[in-house]
A and B are shown apart, each in its own frame.
Chain A
Amino acid sequence: MIPPEFDYAAPGTVSEALALLAEHGDEAKVLAGGQSLLPVLRMRLNAPGIVIDISRIEEIKGITESGDAVRIGAGATYQDVLDSALVSEHLGLLHKALTEVADAQIRHRGTVCGALVHADPAGDVGAPVLALDARMVIQGPDGERTVDASDFFVDLFETAVGEDELLTAVEIPKHTGWGAHYEKFVRVSHQWAIIGIAAAVRVEGGTIAEAKVGLTNMGSTPLRATSVEQALVGKEATEDAVAEACAQVGEGTDPPSDLNGQADYRKHVAGVLTRRAVVAAAGG
């Protein structure tokens, strides 16, 4: 289907993009890689008056070291992030998850920040970003503000980014030396996650010293399994030792029921997959 007509602008700087957002408000949609936006326009799920293409803004393309964190600019594609030595060294969990996003063609155009703002609960980026305590860098008419990942995801396809604002980067604290695994449950390899478990653990002398667990598609936003994280601390990094802590991962979640599985099924499978993810992250 052909989308309804829209105007198109390709600003060269963030301030030009912000001026356009201020002018057009909720009539505008931001295009970074367009791998979610184009299908949305094509299916006429959204009909913006103007598409603001930020893919030509050089100042937001980089992946850089920023103190204790790695900063990923809004222009960085999944593949740019996968190719980054900083990311593979310090953000193993994000790297693992990104290898499972869609397929190679999509990963060459789609962007990490675009996926975060799109906020599809079945997307693979939210859970690792949430689990790694990321900070979202948002620019707007009043300057720059930073929002913790835990406050960023509001609801289905809804984030803390306002109509006149732009997510310009995500800053993720380094987790150097942590083990990591993303366990994605799908029927075919490039499908949206039926569910996904993002697990990072710091192991000391065979025992889990710290654990971080994020959940994909177990609710209307990515979720953090804090009670599981706490229960894992002090456990031996073996399948038997972590099984009980992981089995409770579905408690308090509200996963969807659809053709891929009912909510109770998702809760059950989440327990199994969390155990696998944690053991794999711990190197087992």
Chain B
Amino acid sequence: MDHAVGGTSHLSTKLVVNGHPQELRHDVRVTLLDALRDHLGVTSVKKGCDHGQCGACTVLVDGRRVVSCLSLTASLDGAEVVTAEGLGTPDELSDLQQAFVDRDGLQCGYCTPGQVCSAQAMLAEVAAGMPSHVTEPGALTDPDTAVELTDEEIRERMSGNLCRCGAYVNIVAAIRDTAARRAGTGAQP
């Protein structure tokens, strides 16, 4: 067993956060969200609803986007976690982060780190050919068919990230720009 029963109110868990190995002792009830913010000082990760409905706390765990508020830290021993800080820095923004700035894909900014992490994983999912609810059925039967990243696809795939300022139009534009630039088709700035 990874963790013994009895006297387990405090556990020790190893994580790699934005490339840095970390070991933390924590109460068994601590979620990944609270571990990142309160134990490790990674404050880009935001607590919105704390119920898995708003997406503000989205991070990448072993390359997949999850809501950190619904992940027990204890469950993730050995996992690799990437947050918005791990995608780029203020001096060296990632292409996606820069696109959010260029397109005004935010207003208050509270949901933005979660939006950026979610979009980063979403673009990888599209590149891997993963269909969504709105993908034409043809793409299901032929895995080699590339998913065409229409605005409808972007909106469906980003539906787990709410923006109460309503910056959705510009968020979609930022993601569309990034996808096009990465595909080398030269999107408008």
Contact = CB atoms under 8 A, between A and B. Distances in A.
A7 B28 contact: yes
A220 to B, nearest CB: 23
Interface stretch (A98-106, A131-139, A211-219, A265-273): A98-106
B139 to A, nearest CB: 10
B29 interface: yes
B160 A2 contact: no
B4 interface: yes
B182 to A, nearest CB: 19
B70 A35 contact: yes
Contact of B51 (A7, A42, A83, A85): A42
B64 A108 contact: yes
B157 to A, nearest CB: 6
B30 to A, nearest CB: 9
Interface stretch (B101-109, B125-133, B163-171, B173-181): B125-133
A82 interface: yes
Contacts of A109: 66-67, 70-71
Name the residue in B31, B52, B53, B131 with the highest tally of chain A Cβ atoms < 10 Å from its Cβ.
B52
Name the residue in A35, A103, A104, A109 with the highest tally of chain B Cβ atoms < 10 Å from its Cβ.
A104
B28 A6 contact: yes
B185 interface: no
B1 A11 contact: yes
Given A10-B1, A105-B67, A3 B72 contact: no
Contacts of B65: 104-105, 108
B29 A50 contact: no
A156 interface: no
Name the residue in B3, B66, B141 with the highest tally of chain A Cβ atoms < 10 Å from its Cβ.
B66
Interface in B112-143: 118, 121-122, 125, 130-133, 140-141, 143
B75 A53 contact: yes
A31 B159 contact: no
A5 B6 CA distance: 12
A233 B58 CA distance: 46
Name the residue in A10, A34, A41, A79 with the highest tally of chain B Cβ atoms < 10 Å from its Cβ.
A10
A105 B28 contact: no
Contact of A190 (B1, B3, B122, B160): B160
A53 B160 contact: no
A9 B70 contact: no
A56 interface: yes
A103 B72 contact: no
A196 to B, nearest CB: 13
A3 B51 CA distance: 13
A56 B76 CA distance: 10
Interface in B47-61: 50-53, 55, 58, 61
A20 interface: yes
Contacts of B130: 82-83
Interface in A139-159: none
B8 A8 contact: yes
B3 to A, nearest CB: 5
Contacts of A51: 28, 72
A31 B8 contact: no
A5 B29 contact: yes
A55 B74 CA distance: 11
Interface in A7-52: 7-12, 16, 20, 31, 34-35, 38-39, 41-42, 50-51
B9 interface: yes
11 contacts: A6-B28, A6-B29, A7-B6, A7-B28, A8-B5, A8-B8, A10-B75, A10-B77, A34-B70, A38-B52, A104-B157
Interchain residue pairs A-B with the least CB separation, the first 5:
A103-B160, A99-B133, A189-B159, A10-B2, A108-B64
Interface of B: 1-6, 8-9, 11, 28-29, 31, 50-53, 55, 58, 61, 64-67, 69-72, 74-75, 77, 118, 121-122, 125, 130-133, 140-141, 143, 156-157, 159-161
